[in-house]
Amino acid sequence: MSIDLELDDAQSAIHHAVSRLCAERCPETLVREGGLPPELWRALADVGVLALGTPEGAGGACEMVAALEALGTALFPGPLPATFFATQVLPADERARVAAGAALVSLGAPPLMPWAPQAQVFVIVAGERAWRATPASEVVPVDTLGGERWGRVELERGDALEPAGRARALHDTALAAYTAAAGRRLLDAAAEHARTRVQFGRAIGEFQAVAHPLADASMRLDAARTLARAAAFAFDRDPGGDDVRADAAAAWLSARGAALEAAHVAHQVFGALGITLEGPAFHVSRRIRQLASQPPGDATARERVLRAFPGPEPEPEPEPEPPRPAPQPGRAG
């Protein structure tokens, strides 16, 4: 059975609306400096993005992916995957506050929590289980490579949140779509540099040593985007299905690997220009590396993907040997 994973008219409208919001409200200076102005987060909520995938939202996981592809291209800041996780497991009143941009979510494993200095909702996650949490100490801000505002804080674990497995599937799908789009942004910039940078009388993109890695990275990013869209399609059809979690995990692992490869290739293409703070690449690649280490990490995703494959048949245990009679003491001659 074939599935059409191209954005339909409604999803394309969401993508374009979010792209326009990013162009107007999320300038390059903000992307480079990091941080998350509260008014920018509320602006994203006002167009309905944070409510996608909820009973009150005007769309499901496919619409969420359409929005996140635009947000990833713009490197829009904020705990986007954590927000979609939280709206799947929080009570209706708290879910409404999060979807309205009135409460920021910090999701992870203490003591180091993403966006903790600005968060009002804390969720502890371990594997496919999650708990509501409350701070038991002051939040100590911590600077990060990608510019996100993290913090060290002791958390007191509260009630378990369900359905955490479904929430993790939506979280991983969101993270995959965003990360693949961020990788595509960086790779497109590297390809444009290869087209215009001239060495030895030719554009460097004409050399196979440059063109082939760019092409390989591009195919990996296309595959990751396709997997993210396929995971969203599966989620919308059957959020509680056994395969949905594995599809989302596979999409996230694919996007993570593809974006890291794109960052590596882009830095090779840009050369020294790629490691300058003012250059076109470093602020994007460090954001990708931040995403690659985003809690709760990739260990559970790998385990979930492996679980989807049948393991080898266990070898039959050997038959136990019959006990040997104890040796009889010999008689002296």
For residue 18, what pLDDT is reported?
98
The answer on pLDDT for 217 being more than 90 is: yes
* Mean of pLDDT values over 165-171: 94
The answer on pLDDT for 75 being more than 50 is: yes
The answer on pLDDT for 231 being more than 60 is: yes
The answer on pLDDT for 329 being more than 90 is: no
The answer on pLDDT for 10 being more than 60 is: yes
In a domain, 5, yes or no: no
What phi and psi values does residue 4 have, to the nearest 5 degrees? -85, 110
Is residue 275 very low, low, confident or very high in pLDDT (cuts 50, 70, 90)? confident
- What average pLDDT does the chain have? 91
The answer on pLDDT for 324 being more than 70 is: no
The answer on pLDDT for 14 being more than 80 is: yes
For residue 1, what pLDDT is reported?
58
Residues 58, 152: contact at Cβ < 8 Å? no
In a domain, 106, yes or no: no
The answer on pLDDT for 323 being more than 60 is: no
Nearest to 255 by CA among 280, 284, 282, 222: 222
**How does pLDDT run across 107-147, given as a tens digit for each residue?**
999 999 999 999 999 999 998 899 999 999 999 999 898 88
Domain count across the chain: 1
In a domain, 241, yes or no: yes
103 versus 307: which is more confidently predicted?
103
For residue 328, what pLDDT is reported?
54
In a domain, 260, yes or no: yes
277 versus 17: which is more confidently predicted?
17
In a domain, 32, yes or no: no
In a domain, 247, yes or no: yes
Strand order in the sheet with 121-126: 105-108, 121-126, 129-135, 155-161
**Could you give the residue ranges of the DSSP H alpha helices within the chain?**
9-25, 28-33, 38-46, 61-74, 80-89, 92-99, 164-196, 208-237, 242-270, 282-292, 299-307
* Mean of pLDDT values over 41-60: 96
**What contacts 170, CB < 8 A, 6 or more positions away?**
53, 61, 64, 84, 85, 88, 235, 239, 248
Is residue 243 very low, low, confident or very high in pLDDT (cuts 50, 70, 90)? confident
CATH code of the domain containing 173: 1.20.140.10
For residue 321, what pLDDT is reported?
53
User: By residue range, what is the domain housing residue 236?
Assistant: 166-307
For residue 333, what pLDDT is reported?
42
**How does pLDDT run across 93-102, given as a tens digit for each residue?**
999 999 999 9
Count CB neighbours of 219 within 10 A: 11
For residue 312, what pLDDT is reported?
62
In a domain, 280, yes or no: yes
For a pLDDT cut of 70, what percent of the chain falls above it?
93
* Mean of pLDDT values over 158-186: 96
Q: Cα separations (Å) of 126 from 88, 168, 292, 315, 333? A: 16, 10, 17, 33, 74
* Mean of pLDDT values over 158-172: 94
In a domain, 279, yes or no: yes
Nearest to 176 by CA among 245, 89, 267, 238: 245
The answer on pLDDT for 2 being more than 80 is: no
Residues 61, 235: contact at Cβ < 8 Å? yes
Q: What angle do CA 57, 59, 64 make, to 5 degrees?
A: 105
Tokens of 303: 């385990």
* Mean of pLDDT values over 310-323: 55
Q: What is the pTM of this model?
A: 0.90
* Mean of pLDDT values over 135-163: 93
